[in-house]
Chain A
Amino acid sequence: MTIRHSRGLDRRAFLRLSGTAAAAFTAGSLVSCGQGTEADTPSDAGQSGPPNTEPDADNPLNVPPDEPLETVIFKGGYGDQYVIDAQALYAERFPDAEIKHQGGQELGKQLQPRFISGDVPDLIDNSGAGNLPMAALVADGQLMDLTPLLDAPAIGAGGKTVRETLIPGVVDLGSFGGTPHALYYAFVVHGIWHSRSLFEENGWPEPETWDDMLDLCAEIKSTGMSPWTYQGKNPGYILTPILMAAAKAGGLDVLKNIDNLEAGAWTAPPMMAAAEAFYQLVERDYILPGTSGMTHTQAQTYWATGEAAFIPCGSWLESELGDVTPEGFDMVVTTTPAVTASDALPGTAIRGMGSEPYIVPSQAKNPMGGMELLRIMLSPESATNFTDQTQTLTSLADYEPTNVGSGLTSVREALAASGDDTFFWLYHQWYSELSASVNETTSLLMTGEINPDEWAQQCQSAADAVKDDDSVTKFQRD
């Protein structure tokens, strides 16, 4: 597979190619796209290359003011109103630009033929089930490098660039081999959730170490409540705290080795310590019976209705549960307890992750317009609007949402406490087959069908298989 993302593709080259794409399909012939020579000829309009270096306060990205703008937005838990609101601001700035908007689901299948024919929207929120596989798009050179946007001045930030106003690490989350191709608009933290009111009522402390956790679980179980549940049919949910605990135990290198497909990454001592720790929940029968057969909504609902005390989840949990959560439940998120006596990261370190990855296709007719809309969405005004609508943080670091529930408050506290120690991993978006494989292996660990040793071996061999597979485009992080 040709790796093209590093080469800054020319928009016109793509348009030209795309013209032949449809014909190629109907003719059933093979399109060889190797001829890159013409692609390097400069384009006349000058809108497709990097933005002008001349400062233009009103239009730093040199958006052609009358060029139409088309957005396709995943319409899931967050809806798409926040994008429509931002489009109104865009329309104020560029009244001559016609804006076309579509909110929907299963974007991958909808947009697949459009990517092949070159008739793509200018901005996509590539989220939800059935989305576009991002690593494949990057490997095919289908996504714009978002550096122009990141280097443009942010709105309402006193001269800072967009990059400087974002939560640290967000840019890396959307980077493939160092090039930012996606920008996660929403920012979530992952952790372990419990009901503060329930814990206070019973005098249960928040566990600091895994031993505390196991002690507490014994106590919880004695009351007849199950200590843990997780989103059984999507075992990636329970793998998350395992990886978090491993990262906290062994430091960031644990995660880097996994992302870089290093030999022995999954069998390293911190990984084993974390897997052992969570395996204790199985051994001691601390997991709500039937958990492995539950959908995420089922498990979360059982947790919120008091069947289990802990559940792992991202910070979307509060909005996802909606009215199911009882009055006064007071849900809070914490990071994983320390699984070793000498954890490498501070106790407060937590996993940060983006959601709602925004991408600008290389073949877009108005890529700068797409980036400009994203720049508007990352203004404090739009970010506040989003958080008020969704109870979810954006990737913008400093802004004050006006409507904050208990879950979001604890998310903000956890994130502030974690600070620069907030960590992340990338393998799941780089290598979807590896991700699917380790998730399923984890489901076996958590039902006791395999032990931590077997789990680590099987995960490692899945990683090795990807590493040895020449047809998979590899990425590196440092």
Chain B
Amino acid sequence: MSVHSQPRALDPKPPARTEPPRRSGRDQADIGGRTLNVFSHAFLLTWAVLVILPLLWTVLNSFKSDDEILTSAWSLPGSFSLDSFVRAWTTANIGQYFLNTAVVVSLGVILTLGLGSLVAYVIARYPFPGNRVIYFLFVAGLTFPVFLAIVPLFFVARSLQLANSLPGLALIYTAYYLPFAVFFLTAYFRTLPDSIADAAFIDGCGHWRAFFWVMLPMARPGMISVGIFVTIGQWNQFLLPLVLQTDPDKYVIAQGLASLAVSQEYASDWSGLFAGLTLSMIPVLVVYIVFQRQIESGMVAGAVK
């Protein structure tokens, strides 16, 4: 991590760091704070329940039979049946499309973050003529419905040999997620203290070096959060692959799940639908929880360092 390249001399109040700051919240606080605490905790908990309840319900229903889902929406499943998962797995062809999606999304996210952070950094910290124009050019990308541009995009992609190719799709994802990444990363780069970048230059860092070794590591919380959003967005992306990946060998998981949702609409296979929903949630959920520790420490690094 970056702290080493951070010039100590410029740290405003280094002595405050001498004591490990993590302290248990059980330490006494003032009475007013306590009332506020009770109220706040109640509110936090309520929201958590609001979020968890429908999700839990989805997962539970995926184990139920169709009859149970319809007649007793609130009950626990009578027996845990995995039938619906098997059905969902085969209908949605999840196994085969999983790998494709993983390839496209990992490549797409790396490229989006790499290119997006470069652009954002330059826009945030290098005033130059045309800076705002470039910024708004990227912001503009957030404001037009993609499906209106899909036909011209198809022809551009085809002539550049990007259609029906996993790296090609990753490149297209990158281009379409750049506006989002640039928009948020610019704000994060603006939030960073000027003092440190200045110090890096005084130390004789070149621009590239300052970016890679000083600024990028400092922007880690922002990079992680944007990275998460981009990953999820690209994982769930449906329209672009639908039009650009016509070769079934190159399908991504969203295309498989669409076919599951459609088959439910015509066959009232409720449990299969819930199983599919659960299956589609699980990969992202697992990745998020597995990396949660890293995400957490990266995001709040500044605060607990």
Contacts and interface: CB of A to CB of B under 8 A. Distances in A.
Indicate if A touches B (C-beta under 8 A).
yes
Contacts of B150: 109, 112-113
B155 A322 contact: no
Contacts of B264: 297
Interface in A334-362: none
A109 B155 contact: no
Main SS class of interface, A: helix
Interface string A79-96: 000000000000000000
Given A22-B155, A324-B70, A76 B242 contact: no
A128 B248 contact: no
Given A22-B155, A129-B262, A324-B70, A109 B267 contact: no
A461 B46 CA distance: 49
Contacts of B159: 22, 26
Interface stretch (A98-106, A166-174, A193-201): A98-106
Interface in B212-257: 239, 242-243, 246, 248
B151 interface: yes
Contacts of A78: 266
Contact of B242 (A26, A75, A106): A106
Given A113-B154, A323-B66, A324-B66, A297 B265 contact: yes
Interface residues of B, number: 29
B160 to A, nearest CB: 10
B262 A109 contact: no
A403 interface: no
B258 A106 contact: yes
A300 B243 contact: no
Interface string A17-29: 0000010011000
A104 B266 CA distance: 14
B156 interface: yes
Contact of B265 (A76, A117, A321, A324): A76
B158 interface: yes
B268 to A, nearest CB: 5
B258 A105 contact: yes
Chain A interface category by residue count: 20 to 34
A406 interface: no
Nearest to A28: B152
B24 interface: no
A305 B270 CA distance: 14
A78 B71 CA distance: 27
B58 interface: no
A116 interface: yes
Interface string A205-245: 00000000000000000000000000000000000000000
A324 B242 contact: no
A77 interface: yes
A320 interface: yes
Nearest to B150: A109
Interface in B48-80: 66-67, 70-71
A301 interface: yes
A173 to B, nearest CB: 21
A319 interface: yes
A297 B270 CA distance: 10
Contact of B259 (A26, A104, A322): A104
A76 B269 CA distance: 13
Nearest to B271: A323
Given A25-B152, A76-B262, A321 B268 contact: yes
13 contacts: A22-B159, A75-B263, A78-B266, A110-B246, A112-B151, A113-B154, A113-B155, A113-B243, A297-B268, A300-B268, A305-B70, A316-B266, A320-B267
Given A78-B266, A321-B268, 14 more contacts: A22-B159, A25-B152, A75-B262, A77-B266, A109-B239, A109-B243, A112-B151, A113-B151, A129-B262, A300-B268, A305-B70, A316-B266, A320-B267, A323-B268
